[in-house]
Structure 1
Amino acid sequence: MRAVMFQAPVRLCATFRQRDLLQLMSGSSPAFRRRTPPHRKTHSAAGACGINTHVGAAPGAAGGAAGTGGVTVGAAAAACSMGTSTNRLYSALAPTITDNRIPQPQEYGVERDLEPVDPTDPDDLLKECQKVLENRPPRLQRDFLYLKKSNLASDSRPIKVLQWNILAQALGEWKDNFIKCPREALNWSERKYLILEEILTYHPDILCLQEVDHYFDTFQPILSGLGYHSTFFPKPSSPCLDVEHNNGPDGCALFFLRERFELIDSATIRLAARMLQTNQVAIVQTLRCIETSRVFCVAVTHLKACSGWERFRSSQGCDLLQNLESITDGAGIPLIVCGDFNAEPTEDVYKQFTKSSLNLNSAYKLLSNDGQSEPPFTTWKIRPSGESCHTLDYIWYSQHAFCVNRLLNLPTEEQIGPNRLPSFHYPSDHLSLVCEFSFLDQLDEC
């Protein structure tokens, strides 16, 4: 296989406007120019909890990706060659990123100040999505479940959080082998509109995504035009890079509306298991609500997949919890944690979060009659090995600080259909989770 070097688009043109966003989505936009990113020094600190780059950001600082916006990221965020052989080479180098004697791959990042000149009209963008998708079946219709409100702070608007593993394009199209999903349904030229339609429909204040491999050419510029600050942290050795036709590594991305929150602090974490660095990552950011000055943390992560790795995930969860305890001063700062944990509620990592000193609760338990049971599934797919229906995705929150106002219901088996996910009417094998929070009245100001 011929190795081709991936290089991320690094700067939006000065004349980037709303019409360019629509062209970008259609694949005809000249909005990016490519050049080699400048060489930057890597900073990393090895410890029992793995690599944790944690640098304060001035309030209101612009962020673009790992390595910008107040976050310093080392070689874990490096640009990598495409293809199996070069990916193996990078995998061999990745565990030694703290050894300055070994040459490091070039850093994978973007420049600061990536916001478009003009904002994007979300209604126009939604209409554009619907126009492109008019020949596809209608999207899954899901309603919100309203919960009883009590002891809510009267000085703040609710905070809407969307959690979603959107399915990396390189994996969905070339590796995951969804045998019941038509190939045409996975075509990026239309699938991206389904993803954006879902985001535009629910218009979250905070958006936590996993398996993002079209960050630079799609999600960062488009969501920036919609008013979101964004941060991206790729996996050190993404499986997407084994695919010849890829768009770079996949990773976690965190977006929040600039009009509602300002960034106080930001950390990118390469998770550890038994004191060894792993290929899984997390982003943790401390935000201040502009309306109320309340401070809280939000985190996004994606733990190791596949059965047989339960103890590994448990160790990763332990590492993440240790980092969260440190960042939140032992839950002195309220916390929301979103992610694809790749773990059923019966696994140790789930129990760790339930029993943590951070006093976390899983929001989607509140869909059940007793408030104690998770939904029957958050992902449902069919591969050659068989049908896979599991609950793996969660939104955790500090139950002493937040109250859940409403939750987006999950679709029924009939709505999903016999061929399961992904499909022509849904772009991922994971369902999006949407939760609306309010601060409790008795919460002290941070």
Structure 2
Amino acid sequence: MTINIQESPDKEVQGISSIKDIYEKIKHTESIQSQYTDADLYERKWISRLQGDQSETSSTLSKGTFSALQFNTLAQGLSLPPDHSPPFKLLNPSAVDTTKSIYGGFTEIPHPEISLDFQLRKWRLLEVLLSHPSNTKASNTPQQNLFDIISLQEVDHFHDFFQPILKILGYQGIFVPKPNSPCANSGWYSDGCAFFWNEREFELLHQDLFTYKDPDGNNYNQVCIVATMKHRKSDEIVVFAVTHLKSGKGTKQEVTRTKQVQQLLEKLESIHRLDNDSIQQGSKENIPIIIMGDFNSDIREEESCVQHITFHKEYNKNSQSWKSAYQITPPDDSFYTTWKTRGPKTQKRVIDYIFHNGGDNGSNISCTHVMDVPPEESLEPTKLPGFKYPSDHLSIGAIFEIK
């Protein structure tokens, strides 16, 4: 196991001390990229998930309401230019995917040396995290309507960038790196999963960081964060899971992902049944649980591991029923979470998800709104990533209410 962590402070972060500084840096970065083409981030809005409510904006927020964002950021180590100098010795040169060794394979996008330059792109990634749909276009006054929960994958700059910057905005975070990150194979920093919470809204009670195991007890290269939180305004306990499952298409990969999903659900259901007053209140069968992550599996594809989550109740009558925040059974044809051109191949898929255990004799949580996705006509010709969006995955978001 080799883990390379970037702990040296980002020099640009050292010059940031306020929310205003952050927004000015984002605007400056966008102005640099806009010299090449339109670089405005795609606009998003809330869409109601309540039956009979067609409102596109969030309802009056109760004290039990909070928002959550799920986002695969596209690690720097997976989108490097051809002339980069790795800070470490190549961990496993034979494992480097040569089809993705130049700009992550995104060689068809215009000016990848600018749009994928991480020194610029990191500020655009931060812009995504701050782009709560109720925020207006940032002007001279920074908007402070932030997501309460942020779930991230492919993070290889947690300690030096995301954590110190988000701390200025009032967040605390947890990070777990992959034990053998593909980024480390290229001599770069290890990527992993990160979980952030707004301290004004949530308090961390317990954390469990783990790596999935194969049938022989050996570690897979995929990880998960399970965080038990107290929602301050409602005084309720909510459990969050953040994960990134095995990549790759095909039956073999789906079998691996299904095993990982089974381990995750077993872990969450053991937490759900814990009889421990220090980390729960009320009925031990009624703790809200939210799963967020990049599952690398499209529910529309045969034998998708995601079907194991959505139909888990049918497989085991004693298990919980899980619901997707978004409509995925069946999904709308216009819905996607990744739409990318890598080399000559373009793929549009739904592989990022937000699940919860509310309703149907489950917990007392419900999803009231989700963020829409940009329509096809607004996307750049090469889709994602690009100047108008800094990752090959689209962020998805939801508003939850604890009743």
Q: Which residue of 2 aligns with 1:55?
A: none
Letter in 2 for 1:334: P
Which amino acid counterpart does residue 116 of structure 2 have in structure 1? Answer: L
Give 1:309-320 correspondences, 5 Å limit. Answer: 309-320=253-264
- Deviation larger for 311-320 or 204-213: 311-320
Shift of 1:364: 1.1
Q: Quick one: structure 1 residues 313 and 390, their matched pair in 2 at CA, closer, same or farther if it must change by over 3 Å?
A: same
Task: Tell me how far 1:352 sits from its aligned partner.
Answer: 1.2
Larger deviation: 426-435 or 285-294?
285-294
* Counterpart check, 1:353 vs 2:281: no
Report what 1:16 is aligned to: none
TM-fit CA distance, 1:272 = 2.0
Equivalent residue in structure 2 for 1:237, among 170, 180, 195: 180
The alignment partner of 2:366 has SS state of strand
| Counterpart among 120, 123, 126 of residue 193 in structure 1 | 123
- Report which stretch shifted further, 288-297 or 325-334: 325-334
Alpha-carbon separation, structure 2, partners of 1:250 and 1:334? 29
Match of 2:384, as an amino acid?
A: L
2:260 maps to amino acid = Q
Corresponding residue of 1:292? 234
Query: For the residues of structure 2 that align with 1:129 and 1:190, how far apart are their CA atoms?
Result: 9
Give the root-mean-square deviation of aligned CA atoms.
2.6
1:54-86 Cα offsets, whole Å, 9 max, x none, are: xxxxxxxxxxxxxxxxxxxxxxxxxxxxxxxxx
1:373 to 331, 339, 350: 331
Matched, 1:224 2:222: no
**Mapped partners of 1:303, 1:256: distance in 2:** 22
Find runs of 4+ consecutive structure 1 residues off by over 6 angstroms: none
Match of 1:304 among 246, 252, 257: 246
Is contact 1:273–1:319 with CA below 8 Å preserved after alignment?
no
1:261 counterpart (174, 177, 202):
202
Q: Could you say if the C-alpha distance between residues 322 and 333 of structure 1 is closer, same or farther in structure 2, counting changes exceeding 3 Å? A: same
The residue that corresponds to 1:207 in the other structure is: 150
Counterpart-to-counterpart distance in 2, 1:402 and 1:260: 16
Q: Which amino acid in structure 1 is aligned with residue 371 of structure 2?
A: L
Number of aligned residue pairs: 329
Q: Is the CA contact (8 Å cut-off) linking 1:228 and 1:256 kept in structure 2?
A: yes
Confirm whether residue 139 of structure 1 aligns to residue 50 of structure 2.
no
Q: Does 1:180 align with 2:105?
A: no
Cα pair 1:130 1:197 within 8 Å, conserved: no
Counterpart secondary structure, 1:195:
helix
Cα shift at 1:394: 0.2
Q: What CA distance in whole angstroms lies between the structure 1 residues aligned with 2:6 and 2:388?
A: 30
Indicate the larger mover: 130-139 or 305-314.
130-139
Q: Report the Cα distance in structure 1 between the residues aligned to 2:201 and 2:237, rounded to whole angstroms.
A: 12
Asked whether the 8 Å contact 1:138–1:425 carries over to 2, the reply is: yes
Range 289-298 or range 228-237, more displaced: 289-298
The answer to whether structure 1 residue 279 and structure 2 residue 181 are counterparts is no
Asked if the contact 2:5/2:190 (under 8 Å) is kept, the reply is no
> Kindly tell me: are residues 416 and 311 of structure 1, through their superposed partners in 2, closer, same or farther at Cα, counting changes over 3 Å?
same
Deviations 1:244-295 (A, max 9, x none): 4x2x100000000111111111101101233442000000000011122100
Specify the alignment match of 2:372 in structure 1.
409
AA partner of residue 373 (structure 1) = P
Deviation string, structure 1 residues 294-322 (Cα, Å, up to 9, x no partner): 00100100000011211111111111111
Deviation at 1:157? 4.3
Choose the corresponding residue for 1:322, options 263, 266, 271. Answer: 266
Question: Residues 340 and 346 of structure 2 are in contact (CA less than 8 Å); yes or no, is this contact kept in structure 1?
Answer: yes
Which of 2, 7, 10 does residue 9 from structure 1 map onto? Answer: 7
Asked if structure 2 preserves the Cα contact closer than 8 Å seen for 1:155 and 1:292, the reply is: no
Contact 1:122 1:200 in 2 (8 A): no
Distance 1:262 1:350, change over 3 A: same
TM-score of the superposed pair, with normalisation by structure 1: 0.69
Q: Distance in 1 between matches of 2:115 and 2:61?
A: 45
User: Given the alignment, which residue of 378, 382, 398 partners 2:357?
Assistant: 398
1:233, CA displacement in angstroms?
0.1
SS of the aligned residue for 1:131 comes to helix
Contact 1:338 1:395 in 2 (8 A): yes
Q: What is the CA distance between 1:149 and its match in structure 2?
A: 7.7
- For normalisation by structure 2, the TM-score amounts to 0.76
Aligned-pair CA distance for 1:385: 5.5
- Structure 1: runs of 5 or more not aligned: 13-20, 32-119, 441-446
Say which is worse superposed, 390-399 or 323-332, in terms of deviation: 323-332
For residues 123 and 300 of structure 1, what CA distance do their matches in structure 2 show? Answer: 30
Tell me how far apart the structure 1 counterparts of residues 267 and 69 of structure 2 sit (CA, whole Å). Answer: 22
Distance 2:79 2:21 in 1: 28
Secondary structure class of the residue paired with 1:338: strand
Instruction: Say which is worse superposed, 320-329 or 211-220, in terms of deviation.
Output: 320-329
Asked whether the equivalents of residues 380 and 388 of structure 2 are also in contact (C-alpha less than 8 Å), the reply is no
Per-residue deviation, 1:348: 3.7
Structure 1: distance between partners of 2:5 and 2:321:
42
* SS of the residue 1:125 aligns to: helix
Letter in 1 for 2:12: L
Give the corresponding residue for 2:192. 251
TM-superposed deviation, 1:226:
1.1
- 8 Å Cα contact 1:178/1:383 also seen in 2: yes
Distance in 1, matches of 2:298 and 2:5, equals 37
**Cα-to-partner distance string for 1:149-204 (whole Å, 9 max, x where unaligned):** 89x99862421000000000110225321121232210011101111111122221
